[in-house]
Structure 1
């Protein structure tokens, strides 16, 4: 049995294990360990399991993820997210579908301190959905805006997706964070454009809100200032070179905790709950990274990435044709797999092909994250759709899936723009890091 055949059997086994609901981290460990055992012997397999597990959890750069998760959890527990929503509504509420647009804006702002798609959708869904229901918004538009807006948590820095991609590919977390800023703003604008178009076609879907005075607008900005300040300090500090992403995550988390207690916005019980949630999420992320690090040496030995890259070249599609095939594969996988699971399973296979075709790894990281975002709102899995369904309560899944469809078209438009104009993603990291 050739190494390529063993590799293909290993990949098939990985998907079978996940279909059997084996946690993705353990599925990768099992396939990586036994695959190395078959190809290199038990001694090598044991060595990989021990050394790769240690190197994964001892990675200094991985601290970014739990720190930003803590920042987001404390912000949510302290109620800072409602301040972001109020500020967004004050400024865009008078537009057609103003509440839905405000929800998208608030999702983008909360994503900049959270880094999690699901957390963003849950947090803003609890704040915005009851208000949109009270004002008579169409259920498809309201839930679609929250489900799609939540995906911004996977793109706008500090993104856990970028952290994992950086660790898997040994790219700079700082460069990836900066690469996500402009695409994140572009996608936010496109989502708001979708809301406006839907409400232009069907005015009753999203009525205008009341016009607020400048004093009221500034007042809402003042209430959201603590969290906005932390956001600009963290991301702005990275861009200015004042501190590294790891330092930014620690400073941001510390400042939010201080602000939460100083303003008496959080109790010790709620704070302990935020810490527990952070520990659970961080344990999952670390387990996934360990699993990926155990799987990667097995894939390298099988030379599966080289085999697939050569196969794509032999088909004669060219670099961009091959990229289209990879993106289509991502879209199909996204219909059935969780975003983080898909990222850690596919990147070790796809990344060598991307480098082989001459594409910029940072640029592809943005492409991969956007495609994974699309999977978060497409059936039959659509993680964000199910999360919003849990918050909305009485809205059928079919209604939410219909509601997110226009936003899915906006994501496709953003993807095509970034492929056609790579500088949309690369301008900031190239100007910052040279």
Structure 2
């Protein structure tokens, strides 16, 4: 078969399987096997698939992925993530602080987790009801959280950059560093959008927010866990003390301890 026939056949079969409700990992496998049988025997194809699966499972670098996801789940299930939003909302009192706080909390969460889904669910579950209660517009509230959730893909430790580094055999530490500036630019752009939105549609941002101001000790106790986790990951990877997998393991263990201390 020609290469374009294989490509079109793979794409068509994959889209058909996904449309019928087959989970994506199984759809990918099922779509590739018929074309694999064109160049290998059935027994050889099965053996190749088994070896490939085994190679993925024992890949040391890929262990960082479930560790970072586990770390994010711990932050989401405990009070560490919600407390970060409360600090950025109540500790920094400006007009639109809940919207700015949502962006900042998503960025801070992304700096220790790397999973957009976990970050959006954790911060969104706390921030969206609070913003609606305070009188923020529904479009602004949902838009801020949807945009802020994407920051975890870019800000290190990003799972997408981790996968890219593994596939292309690039330095994961260098890729993480490369994501910092674009991530900060996005945070700034999102904040500017909120500022302009407040000018064009002042009714979507309340002039006065009914929220209790946080004390200094409460602020310190709120930002300390996230700051400590982020510091461990950053210093360990960028200083060459540990690999991303080792840094993820140490950070996950530290998060377990902090999660018990902070509570859930």
Q: Note whether the superposition's TM-score is higher than 0.5.
A: yes
Separation in structure 2 between the aligned mates of residue 189 and residue 68 of structure 1, nearest angstrom: 25
The answer on whether the counterparts of 1:98 and 1:209 sit within 8 Å (CA) in structure 2 is no
Contact kept? 2:134, 2:209, Cα under 8 Å: no
Query: Following the alignment from structure 1 to structure 2, what is the Cα–Cα distance between the partners of residues 205 and 48?
Result: 57
The aligned residue for residue 81 of structure 2 is: 81
- The answer for unaligned runs of 5 or more in structure 2 is none
Offset, 1:133? 1.3
In 2: Cα distance, 1:177 partner to 1:9 partner = 36
Task: Determine the structure 1 residue equivalent to 2:35.
Answer: 35
C-alpha distance in structure 1 between counterparts of 2:144 and 2:242, whole Å: 34
In structure 1, the partner of 2:257 is: 258
- Contact 1:162–1:177 (CA under 8 A) maintained in structure 2: yes
State whether residues 162 and 173 of structure 1, in contact with CA within 8 Å, keep that contact through their aligned partners in structure 2: yes
Rate the CA distance shift 1:4–1:210 in 2: closer, same or farther, 3 A: closer
Checking the alignment, whether the CA contact within 8 Å between 1:74 and 1:256 is kept in structure 2 is: yes
2: CA distance, partners of 1:150 / 1:9? 35
Is this contact kept in 1: 2:69–2:115, CA < 8 A? yes
> Could you say which residue in structure 2 is the equivalent of 1:231?
230
Match of 1:143 in 2: 142
After TM superposition, give the deviation of residue 138 of structure 1 in Å: 0.6
Q: Which residue of 2 aligns with 1:11?
A: 11
2-side partners of 1:221 and 1:210: how far apart? 22
Deviations 1:183-242 (A, max 9, x none): 111111111111111011111211245699x98356414322112211122123211222
Aligned equivalents of 1:218, 1:137: Cα separation in 2? 29
Distance 2:31 2:25 in 1: 10
1:52-71 alignment, distance < 5 Å: 52-71=52-71
Over the residues paired in the alignment, what is the CA RMSD in angstroms? 2.3
- Partner Cα separation in structure 2 for residue 17 and residue 131 of structure 1: 40
Tell me the SS of whatever aligns to 1:48. helix
* CA displacement, residues 296-328 of structure 1 (integer Å, 9 cap, x when unaligned): xxxxxxxxxxxxxxxxxxxxxxxxxxxxxxxxx
Asked if the contact 1:34–1:45 (Cα under 8 Å) also holds between the matched residues in 2, the reply is no
* Aligned equivalents of 1:254, 1:162: Cα separation in 2: 23
- What's the TM-score, normalizing by structure 1? 0.57
Q: Which residue of the partner structure matches residue 121 of structure 2? A: 122
Residues 1:25 and 2:25 aligned together: yes
The worse-fitting range, judged by mean Cα deviation, of 34-43 and 47-56 is 34-43
Cα distance between partner residues in 1 of 2:251 and 2:92: 27
Evaluate the alpha carbon distance shift between residue 150 and residue 209 of structure 1 in structure 2; reply closer, same or farther with a 3 A threshold: farther
Greater length-normalized contact order (CA 8 Å, ≥ 6 residues apart): 1
Q: Structure 1: how far apart are the matches of 2:184 and 2:27?
A: 36
Moved more, 25-34 or 195-204: 25-34
CA-CA distance at 1:163 after TM superposition: 2.5
Structure 1, gaps ≥5 residues long? 267-434
Q: Specify whether residues 185 and 200 from structure 1 end up closer, same or farther in structure 2 by C-alpha distance, changes over 3 A only.
A: same
Please report the TM-score for the alignment, with normalisation by the length of structure 2.
0.91
Task: Measure, in 2, the Cα distance between the counterparts of 1:100 and 1:216.
Answer: 21
CA apart distance, 1:90: 4.0
Whole-angstrom distance in 1 between the partners of 2:136 and 2:74: 30
Tell me the number of residue pairs that the alignment of Structure 1 and Structure 2 aligns: 264
Equivalent pair of 2:102/2:127 in contact (CA under 8 Å): yes
- Residue 178 (structure 1) aligns with: 177
Instruction: Quote the offset at 1:62 in angstroms.
Output: 0.7
| Aligned 8 A contact 1:87 1:217 in 2 | no
